[in-house]
Structure 1
Amino acid sequence: MNWAENLQNNLTTAEQLKGVLQLNDKETEKLKQILEQFPMSITQYYLSLIHWEDENDPIRKMCIPSILETDLDGSFDTSGEADNTVVEGMQHKYKQSAMILSTNRCAMYCRHCFRKRLVGLSDKEIAKYFDKIMEYIEGHTEISNVLISGGDAFLNSNEVIEKYLERLSRMEHIDFIRFGTRTPVVLPMRITEDKELLDILQRYSSKKQIYVITHFNHPYEITRESKAAVQALLHVGIPVRNQAVLLKGINDSPKVLGMLLKRLTAAGVLPYYVFQCRPVSGVKNQFQVPLKQGFQIVEEAKGMQNGMGKNFRYVLSHEAGKIEILGMAAEDEMLFKYHQAKKPEDAGRLFTRHLEDTQCWL
C-alpha cells in the first residue's frame, strides 16, 4: 500500500487501544473523553517502536493519551500565533520569515503538540487562500525564507507540495524554502516509497534551496527505516535539520539527550534547536522541565558531542520572540538572549530573570 493508504490503518479510537493496553470499561470511557478534546492518531510503524513491557516507554508517552491531558492549565496559543497571522493560514512574526500552516493533518498526533488547538480538529487557521498568501509574500520582499508547516507539510499531496514550490521558486527575494515534517520519524515510507515526492524535491532544489526540518525526540526513533528516509532526502540534495523538544519523561536526562544528538549527526541530521516545552493546555504539567534543570541537561548532553553535534541552540519560543537560554548569570539569575525578536528593539538583546527552581517559562 502507498503512504496514504497506510494512514488508513492508524489507531484513532479508544476501542482500538482497549485491547492493546488491556483497559477496563471505565478506563476506556475516560480515554474516549480525552479523545473528544484531543484526537489520537498513531501509525502502525510508530506503534511498533513501543517497548510494551516498560510502562514509562518514551515512544508510548509521545503517542498514547494520558489522563494528565485533562489538566488544561496553560494556554492553547503560547507564542502569540494569532497575533502574527497576516493572511488566514500564514504568519509573519519575524521580518525575514513567513510560515504557512498548510494543513491541520499529521501522520501521528504527538501528545506534546503545541498546536493541540488545531491538529486533527480545526481548519480555521490553515491556508485556504493560496493566491492571497503568495501575493503577500511577493509584496513583502524583506521575506527571504518560507516555512511550509502545519500539521505536517508532507501530509499534503505531491500536487500541493509542487504548487508551493513552483510559485515560491519564482520569487527572486526568497533564498530558501523549508518543509516542517515529522514523517521521517513516524511515517518514513512517505519519503522512501514515494519516488514522485523525491523527484519533485530534487527538481525544485536546483531552482531554490530546500531544507527539511524534522523532529526526533528520542534515540528509539532513530531506526533503520527513519535513517533510510533521511538518506533518501540527502541523496536528492535536501539537507535535513532537527528540532527536538526537551520533554519530561522522554529525553530529560543528559545521557538520553546526548545519545539522541550523537545518533542524529551520525545519520546526517544536524541538530538545529532544542526547544523548551511550551506551557500548552493539556501538555504543560505532563511534559515541561524546569528551566534550571533543562539548562544543566542540555549542557551535559552538549558536552558529549563533537563540534557538529554542538551546532544547536536551547531556546524557548515566546510571544516576544525566539529566546536563547544561555545559562546562570548568578544564583537564581538566568541569562537569556533574543535569538529572533518580534520587536526590532529587542533584536540581540541580553537580559536576566530571577527564576524559581520549578519555573518552566517566562
Structure 2
Amino acid sequence: MTMVNDAAPTMRSTGRKFRAFTAKHLDELTARAGLSPEQQLATRAVATVLPFRTNAYVIEELIDWSAAPDDPIYRLVFPQPDMLPAADVAHLSDLLRREAPKAAVEAAAHAVRMKLNPHPAGQMELNIPSFGDGKIPGMQHKYDETVLYFPKQGQTCHAYCTYCFRWAQFVGEADLKMAGDEPAQLRDYLLAHPEVTSVLFTGGDAMIMGEPVLRRYLEPLLDLEQLESIRIGTKSLAYWPQKFVTDPDADAMLRMFEQVVESGKNLAFMAHFTHPRELEPLVLTEAVRRIRDTGAVIRTQAPLIRSINDDPAVWEGMWRTQTRMGMVPYYMFVERDTGPQDYFAVPLARAYEVFRDAYKNVSGLSRTVRGPSMSATPGKVCVDGVLEIAGEKVFALHLIQCRDADLVGKPFFARFDPEAVWLDDLKPAFADRFPWQQ
C-alpha cells in the first residue's frame, strides 16, 4: 500500500488555509456577479430562510464569474430570489429594507421554513430508534442493515448546496437538527442489533471534522465483526479537496483511513459531485489518488438538478471522468421533496430520459450507477422506464431499498404523469394501492 506522505511536493506547497464566506458577505459577492441592489436584497431575504456558506476555493476555482449569475456552480451555492414564493421574498425583503428587529426577521423566516417540509421521508418520526432510556440523538435506522449517524461536530459543510435536502441542519433551529455525541452509545446499539452491517456517517459533512474528532467515532467500531462497511457521506472532495492534501492533519486523516481498511472494513467515501467542473482541479485529482491509496473506495452520487445538471451529456461526462479516476458511479437521485424543490425539480419522465441517454453511452464499468432514485418514505424508489401495457402508459418502478425488505427488487407500476416530480405525485396502475400500502 502506498504511504500517505508521498504526495507530489509541488501540489502540497500550493495549499491555502480554509476561509469561509457566510451571509454577511453576500452583498460583496453578489455585486461581483452583477446583481442590482434590489436583486441583492432579495438574495439576502432568501438567505434568512435557507443557509448560505461557501469558501475561497469554490469562489476562486470553481465559479466562472464571467458567466455569473447564470453559471451553474454559482447557482449551486448562492441563494436565488425565485427559490421561494414571491410573496415570502417580498415580505422578508421589506423587513430587511426597514431594518426590522432581528426577532421579527427570524420569526418570518421560521414561518417560511415550516412550509418547506424540513424533514422529508419521516426522518424525525419514523427513523430514530429507541434504545435504553429513550431515543438516540443523532441516529437513524431506516433499513435493517444500515444505521445513519450524525456526529455533533459534523453539522456543517465546507460549502452548502442550494438544493441540499439536509438544509434544516444548518439554519440554527435546534428542533430541526439531528446530532449525536455518544460514540459509545452508537457502539452499544450496534452490538444489540447484529443485523446492522453498515454505518453511514452523515450530517452536515463528517469530513468537516479534524482527525482526532473523527477518530473518536470510528475507532470504537473497528473491532465489531458484524460491520462490513463504514461509509462517509461527503462533499469535501468537490468543495475542499485540500482536506486530504495540504490541510495540517491530511496525513493523519489518511493514516486513520488505512487503519479502518486494515481492520477488515470496507471504507466507502460517498462523494457528491454535482457538476463536471468540480472534477477539473488538479488538487482534486491528487486528493482522490491519496484516498484511494489508503484502500478506501470512492463512490459518487448526486441529485438531478434543474438548471445545473439536467443534461445527459453532463452526467455522461461525470461518470466517464469518475471511472477514469478510479471512482465508482453509484446514484443519480431525484431532488427530494423539501426546501426549494419547486425551483430545482425535474419531472420524473424527463429524469428517466436524462439517466437513460447518459447511461447508454458509457461502458459497463460506469453502469454501476443506479437511478433516477427517490429517497422516499417507504424506501429508495427507482424509475426503470416509461412503457405502454394493455393500452395504458405507465411508469415501471422498483424499490432499490425498503423498510420492508421483502419488497426490495419487486417491480410495480404507476400511471404515467408527465408533471410528476415525486412519489407522492403518482397513482398506482393495475392495482388499488402501491405494494408498501398493502
Could you tell me how far apart the structure 1 residues matched to 2:405 and 2:80 are? 41
Aligned to 2:188: 135
Check whether the contact 2:305–2:346 (CA below 8 A) recurs between aligned residues: yes
Matched, 1:334 2:347: no
- Of 403, 413, 417, 1:356 maps to 417
Helix, strand or coil: the match of 2:188? Answer: helix
What's the offset of the Cα at 1:50? 1.3
Percent identical: 25
Amino acid in the other structure paired with 1:51 = D
Aligned to 1:288: 345
Aligned to 2:65: 52
Aligned to 1:35: 47
Could you tell me how far apart the structure 2 residues matched to 1:120 and 1:139 are? 34
**TM-aligned CA distance change 1:206 to 1:174, over 3 Å:** same
Could you tell me how far apart the structure 1 residues matched to 2:296 and 2:399 are? 29
Counterpart mapping for 1:1-362 below 5 A? 6-13=17-24, 14-48=26-60, 49-54=62-67, 55-71=69-85, 74-82=116-124, 83-86=126-129, 87-102=136-151, 103-119=154-170, 121-122=172-173, 124-193=177-246, 194-207=250-263, 208-223=265-280, 224-282=282-340, 284-314=341-371, 315-330=373-388, 332-362=393-423
Amino acid in the other structure paired with 2:274 = N
Could you tell me how far apart the structure 1 residues matched to 2:286 and 2:21 are? 22
Segment drifting more, 182-191 vs 113-122: 113-122
Segment drifting more, 287-296 vs 130-139: 130-139
What's the offset of the Cα at 1:18? 4.0
Helix, strand or coil: the match of 1:147? Answer: strand
Could you tell me how far apart the structure 2 residues matched to 1:120 and 1:134 are? 29
What's the offset of the Cα at 1:332? 3.4
What's the offset of the Cα at 1:129? 3.1
Q: Which runs of 5+ in 2 are unaligned?
A: 1-11, 86-111, 130-135, 424-438
* TM-score scaled by length of structure 2: 0.78
Helix, strand or coil: the match of 2:170? Answer: coil
Structure 1 runs (4+) deviating above 4 angstroms are none
What's the offset of the Cα at 1:264? 1.1
Check whether the contact 1:39–1:121 (CA below 8 A) recurs between aligned residues: no
Segment drifting more, 60-69 vs 182-191: 60-69
Check whether the contact 2:23–2:44 (CA below 8 A) recurs between aligned residues: no
Q: Which runs of 5+ in 1 are unaligned?
A: none
Helix, strand or coil: the match of 1:319? Answer: coil
Helix, strand or coil: the match of 1:359? Answer: coil
What's the offset of the Cα at 1:88? 1.2
What's the offset of the Cα at 1:5? 8.5
Larger radius of gyration: 2
**TM-aligned CA distance change 1:59 to 1:140, over 3 Å:** same
- The root-mean-square deviation of aligned C-alpha atoms, in Å, is 2.1
Segment drifting more, 18-27 vs 260-269: 18-27
What's the offset of the Cα at 1:164? 1.7
Amino acid in the other structure paired with 2:200 = L
What's the offset of the Cα at 1:346? 2.5
Could you tell me how far apart the structure 2 residues matched to 1:81 and 1:227 are? 35
Q: Aligned residues, how many?
A: 361
Check whether the contact 2:183–2:216 (CA below 8 A) recurs between aligned residues: no
* TM-score scaled by length of structure 1: 0.94
Check whether the contact 2:54–2:77 (CA below 8 A) recurs between aligned residues: yes
Check whether the contact 1:181–1:214 (CA below 8 A) recurs between aligned residues: yes
